[in-house]
Structures are given as structure tokens and as C-alpha cells.
Amino acid sequence: MNQKSVWFFEEVDLYEMLCPYKYKDHLKTHPLSCYNKTDFLFMEGDPVREIFLVAEGKVKVSFYDPEGNEQVLAFLSKGEILGETALIGQARYREFAQAVVDRTMICRLGVDKARELMRDYVPFSLTITKRFGEKSQRLERRLQILLFKDARQRLVAFLKDLCRDIGTAHASGTKVELDITQSDIAALIGASRKTVSLLFTDLEMEGVVRFNGRKELFVSNVEQLI
């Protein structure tokens, strides 16, 4: 299984993949839509008429549990797509999507247009098909992590995935460029912001991790993360 997709924070380069094909022609008649922080792309229960491709910025995908608590499913950035379940007949969105930074630029594709791309453009079709399978697998693994691991173990699992996915070798171990906040991490692992901050403090005191400002994280030895 691709560990990269467990925490729903990745770029799959659909934006670059589609540019050489009909995507550029589509933009001539359907300019990118601009969303500012806290603007909603769609709400839970809305009819599914489009899929959305993130061209710039960041989008949060969440739902509310029966107790009214927000549960974050994803932070998506450039190249990611959402609403793709419309292609297999989903009639209404089961979650909501919200911009988390100003000037988040979105390409909106009607369902018929997306189906045309799937029919006529094999790379797009294969990528979407692969996403459906991976989504099921990653949801299952993430559910296991959330149900059977404590907050520290969930944070450690998240850090290990980050190191494997976007980490680079460094004299201090593995360097990770962070473009999410501790509040974002807390939302993804099902913990409070305060808990995540305390856990990071513990890991720093143990010499396992080190921060350089707010955007750089160094992990001395990924395999020793426990």
C-alpha cells in the first residue's frame, strides 16, 4: 500500500498531467475560480454536479460527526482533485470542502466533462481509477490508527509517513518542509492542538525531532520514532 496517501496530504500532479490535453482549452471558457480563506467549495448534502481540481492554494475536506465535531479528512494542495466520486454515481457530497488560505484557485469540471476526459484520455482515467482503490485502503488503515493507537502513536505514524513521502536526507537526519500548522496536524490525527504541542515538546526533549522555525522539521532517526 502507498503510505503516502494515509493522511490525505499529497500532490498527484493531475494539474500538470492535464495541461497538455483539453485542460488548457477548458480554461479558455471556464476560468479558474478564486476562493478566500473559509470560503466553501461545497457543503455536505449539496448535489454533485462538478469535480474540483486544485490549481493553487489549499483545501480542507471535512465532515461533522453525530456529536457535531468536525472531523478532517484531507488537506489538498496543487494537483489534487476532489469530488471524483461523482464519476461513479454519487448524487450528493458526503463532506464539505473549504479553502484554508486566501486566493485558493480551483478549476471546476462538470461531471460530463470529467467523464469525457476519462473516456478519451487514458492517463486521467487510470489515475482516477487508481484513486478509488487507494482511497478505500487508506481510509481503512487510517481508521485502524485512529481507533487503536494513542495520541503519541498517531503523531509518530503521521511523522513517519511525512518523512517517507516528502523528507529529504540531511546532516541532522531527515528534513521535512512543513506547509501545514500544528492545528492542521491535530485535526488530521484526531487530537487537540494543545496535545500535539505537548507531544512535539516531548519529542524535542528526547532529541528525536527538532524544529527550525515553523516550516522545517528535522527527524534524527525515523526508525527510532516510537
- Domains identified in the chain and CATH numbers: 3-147 (2.60.120.10), 151-224 (1.10.10.10)
What average pLDDT does the structure give for the chain?
81
Distance in angstroms (rounded) separating the CA atoms of residues 107 and 11: 15
The band of 4, judged by pLDDT with boundaries at 50, 70 and 90, is very low
Mean pLDDT of 134-145: 73
Q: Evaluate if residue 58 carries a pLDDT over 80.
A: yes
Lowest mean pLDDT among 2-6, 27-31, 53-57, 168-172: 2-6
Q: Evaluate if residue 184 carries a pLDDT over 50.
A: yes
Q: Evaluate if residue 5 carries a pLDDT over 50.
A: no
- Listed in sequence order, the residues at least 6 apart from 109 whose beta carbon sits closer than 8 Å to its beta carbon are 26, 50, 51, 52, 53, 117
- Please state whether the predicted TM-score (pTM) of the whole model is above 0.85: no
Distance separating the N- and C-terminal Cα atoms of the chain: 21
Residue 73, C-alpha cell as written in the block: 479528512
Distance in angstroms (rounded) separating the CA atoms of residues 9 and 32: 22
